[in-house]
Structure 1
Amino acid sequence: MNLRLEHISKSFENTRVLDDVSFSIQKGEILSLTGESGCGKSTLLRIISGLEIPDAGKIILNDEEITDWRPEQRNFGFVFQNLALFPHLTVRDNIFYAIKKKRQSFDELQGLLEMTGLKGLDKRYPHELSGGQQQRVALARALAIKPQLLILDEPFSSLDELLKAKIREEIFELLRSLQITTILVSHQASDAFLIADKLVVMRHGQIQQIGSPTEVYQKPVSPYVSDFFGASVILKGKSENGSDIQTSFGTLQITNPRTEDLQLFVRPENISISTSHDYNLAGFIVKKEFKGPHDVLKIGNENSEELISLETERCSLDVGEAIYLKVPESHVLIFQ
């Protein structure tokens, strides 16, 4: 199974919601479509499912264009944000609702129930189930049609954090074992990092970056992507000789041909702190916050109002004391 989106665009009332969106997903791959609310994820999902038709672009499934196909022609399985279970139907009837011929074998039903952890619950109604069990019913119903593609639309948003972590891990382990091609729509980086082979990061209807979780985390292409996927330190810098970059905290020896104002990005875990003067950046502690097993230091300097926020193990330094930072140049990315 291969699904390709080619130059998809969509507008509503003169507002461009999707702008030239292209990506592909291969058989057995799990792709996470992510971005902040309003970035176009939901509209793109409706276009993939056939509930909306794009203004421009094509959807190609196994080398056949399906852009105008109705949802029932696509054989895609869905787990919706609100689960959309029928309260008047039992677990069994909910699972087989989407199948025209309901004469499924007993073994097939039992296999689905056992696979999704619902064995012995087939005669219960949704209100008699826990939130996690309802989640499994929605998944079993999506799998019952033997879909070419499974779409999970913010599937864990209604669960509390403790239950979410457990159910998420169980479902993703199942999808991995079954090698089901999946698109996960989520605004939670933790969902994407846990399971995705590929991330598609969206903003304002456009794709910001496509890559593996490791690539997107370690080498974001913009400050937006860096902040979306975890804490980051971004400093203002300027290169005057094409080599050293001056910041308000000190100089970084990074070869850089550009001389305009720059933004320097580094993940906090790549920064070491010390009282030693031989570290390449320097500042003083503006604020120190106790966070249980860690301290959070807010580090400033006399040359600007910039602050560096770092989570550390217990720090013996107090507010106002000098602190030195070691930033490996190889871990620094430069944004314009």
Structure 2
Amino acid sequence: VKDIRAAIEDSESRMRLGDKASILFLDEIHRLNKSQQDSLLPSVEGGKIKLIGATTENPSFSVNNALLSRSLTFALTKVEPIALRDRLLTIANREGRVIDNALAMAIAEAADGDVRAAINLLEASLSLSAPGETLTLDEVRPLLATIIPHFDKKGDFHYDVISAFIKSIRASDPDAAIYYLARMLAGGEDPVFIGRRLVIAASEDIGNASPTALLLAQAALQGVKEIGMPEARILLAQATTFLASSPKSNRSYLSIGEAIAAVEETGDLPVPLHLRNAVTKFMKGQDYGKGYVYAHDDPREAAKINNLPEALKGKRFYKPSQHGSEKAFAELLARLRPGT
């Protein structure tokens, strides 16, 4: 921060002498906290500096909106393997070293589009041979086998892969779901985190269409906590394929959303008198519990009674789907509440 302040002051001094504003390049700008990023605003708005910020994070989450709104944002994509391979061959040639095309391509693919990682891998590979010798893929293969797949547990890749995992389950695609599970495990994702996401998916996306999905997901989560990796991968795989192959319903998820919206809109509506517990003589005198029907004695009659506050009478929050076990719920409620 001290260096940044000094650069801004230097730019102001130069401008007073007739020079243009200095270009201030901040690498990994996301490492500045909110207040530090805010301190750049006056200088940016006043034209005292031309700010260029680089980040490996998603700027929507890591850079203040005030800075983003005053900037042009350019997304730099991964370098294609062929282009990266050619670059590696050029670098090796410039250093007076010889590597074959297969090795250059293997390094490019292992680097996953990251030029810096590719150069580091190239340097490590070249250390395995003497100058003047041609380095081949077979000689470097053991080194490349140790490379950890690209999976940033705190960055965009983390959210992209877990999003793909959940959406593949939701789309009833067990093959894609198991692939993204493997991606996460290979990248070092916490298996307990994955297990928790499966429990959420079991309730949010499968719901009452297959109630056993939630039980299985919970059992998998508990098992993962107890046995750990690598065996935990088997439990996660079973839960993943079960959920992806199960009938789907989000009606419970939607119902709580609608109910919460109703509560926020209507506030604390009075509970109908027949549902109130008459524990004193005074309460009985106020008609607490009057008209209550014990559902086990007469389920049809009990189902006819409105149990919602009067302002919400007739409101249906839960609308069962026609999928899996939930179809039976819909049929039961239709029998108990004909015409609703």
TM-score relative to the length of structure 1: 0.30
Greater percentage in strand: 1
> Structure 2-normalised TM-score?
0.30
Greater share of residues in helix = 2
Structure (1 or 2) with the larger CA radius of gyration: 2
